[in-house]
Structure 1
């Protein structure tokens, strides 16, 4: 993976890898309702933690 040190680096990485990211992405609506990944509440905690970490000014 690219050495990302700034927001601009990250944007460039996304731009350069857009097709690959789309190709490998999984839409949650395509997963079954009983999929372990959907049922795992750990993801909710991680997303919440990351959201609040980045919202601090």
Structure 2
């Protein structure tokens, strides 16, 4: 499963790219829910490389 690290700048790019709407805004950064299908689209779209598997 993918996770969003503390490097997240909360730009929201990953939210728009997620095909299953598994990313939502958290307290300090965005978070990936258990609905994630491990497609990797969010990781590829993150401008600050804050998403990792």
Which of the pair has more CA radius of gyration?
Answer: 1
Q: Which has the higher helix share?
A: 1
Structure-2-length-normalised TM-score: 0.26
Q: Which has the higher strand share?
A: 2
Larger relative contact order (CA 8 Å, sep ≥ 6): 2
